[in-house]
Amino acid sequence: MAAMDARLAALRHGYECSCGQTHHLPIADIEVAYGVLAKVPDRLRDLGFSGPVHVVADSNTQAAAGAEVAAALRQAGFSVAETIFDTPDKALVPNEPALARLFLEIPVTAEVLMAVGSGTITDLVRFAAYKMGKPFVSVPTAPSMDGYASAVSPLIVGGFKRTFSAVPPRAIYADLEVLCSAPMWMIVAGFGDLVGKYTARADWQLSRIINGEYYCQSSLDLMAAALELCTSNPEGLRRRKPELIKALMEGLILSGIAISMAGSSRPASGAEHQLAHYWEMRSLKENRHLYLHGTKVGVATPLVLGIYNKVLGSDPNAIDLDKLAQTHQEPDTVETAVRAHYGSMAEEVLTESQRKMLTWAAREKRIHLIQSKWEEIQQTLSWLPRAEEVVEMLARAGAETSPERLGLPDEWVKDALTYARYLRSRYTVMDLAAELGI
């Protein structure tokens, strides 16, 4: 915790970063410890809150922490109202109906919203708080994802997973007893989400070199610290060792803070998230719920590392451009394929990915640019682990290690590797491989 406290203290003071931005941590209070739930009323008063609190949870998170927090608040004299999503047999989806219920049930008199839960609850409350102009406090119930501290909210709108601007929480209070009691599949999902930062970092570095994209080394340093906190001893997670659960939670919080620093999810989300988003959208379309987001990110990461290992082991200067030109697909051909694959969601996908559909002249120019930057690319990304190392890391934590283990059909995996890159305008190694014909 000392290392985390030092980093947070520097951010709270604010500083001019080499990326050109002034970084400042908007989260006033963070604690990951035993007995935090009982302290929430006093901590809220320390933050200046005294009015009505609206608690949002689902059936499971209400039992894990929501009821205890609400009781502590009422006993301390706070007025408390609640929205509890009934989720005994199905997962809560962060979509339009769920948001509509929040907007209908949260009273205008609520001074502060409280999200008691993990990813979906937090994303719903974060977006509602942003739209309603209210602060919110996060009470995580599992170390399952890295969005607790972030300022963006991934939501399912029209069946399409989109990331919306929102607000970070005013405070995060994570009770270690609750975290250690979380289902193991949620704990390993958090580990999978964190492992995905390897390829997210590499994709951002890659785009900085090739495209001159805005880049913040400080936020990536924070990501590196997050990874270091718990990848050194993954076995501790499967044994529910409190110090490792605490390290995972703190690592996930640091990841979310890095997102806030960069002003987007770029330091924490790359090709591995595009694959996970694709599988999530397809599972929603076909009404099949397949594991948590972080678990899918975890199994996607070795796939992306495999692409990196192959691309970085190639020589773009040896490309036969005449031969490549013969197999090149012009933008209208690619657009037709994307429309056929995505159906009703194609318009939004095409709007997001228009710049990825290159004429041969544009692609040839890109290849020459990549060739000129190749030595820098290889040197910059020499730190990347091999796919096999991350598979071993996931296995040691007790996490799933492959799409097959998740029950993802081969067709879904092949289609994701072909079409997922069109879901975001963000440049990743999947785009690099496509441009080089790998």
pLDDT tens-digit map of 205-257:
999 999 999 998 888 887 777 787 778 889 999 999 999 999 899 889 888 88
Name the pLDDT band for 17 (thresholds 50, 70, 90).
confident
On the question of a common fold for 1-20+183-438 and 34-182, the answer reads: no
- On the 0-12 / 13-18 / 19+ scale of CB atoms within 10 A, 326 is exposed
Apex 269 CA angle, 267 and 270, nearest 5: 105
Instruction: Return the pLDDT at 3.
Output: 57
Instruction: Return the pLDDT at 52.
Output: 97
Per CATH, the homologous superfamily of domain 1-20+183-438 is Dehydroquinate synthase-like - alpha domain (1.20.1090.10)
User: Within 13 Å, how many C-alpha atoms sit on residue 67's CB side?
Assistant: 5
Instruction: Return the pLDDT at 1.
Output: 52
DSSP type of residue 422: G
CA distances from residue 125 to 93, 122, 130, 293, 384 in whole angstroms, order as listed = 13, 5, 8, 18, 36
The residue ranges of every structural domain in the chain are: 1-20+183-438, 34-182
CA distances from residue 334 to 216, 322, 330, 346 in whole angstroms, order as listed = 33, 20, 6, 12
Residues 6+ apart with CB under 8 A from 211: 427
Instruction: Return the pLDDT at 89.
Output: 67
Instruction: Return the pLDDT at 93.
Output: 87
Quick one: angle between helices 293-312 and 197-211, nearest 10? 50
Residues 6+ apart with CB under 8 A from 355: 425
Enter the pTM of the model.
Answer: 0.89
Instruction: Return the pLDDT at 343.
Output: 93
Q: Answer whether CATH 3.40.50.150 is correct for domain 34-182.
A: no
pLDDT in tens, 140-175: 999 999 889 988 888 988 877 788 989 999 999 999
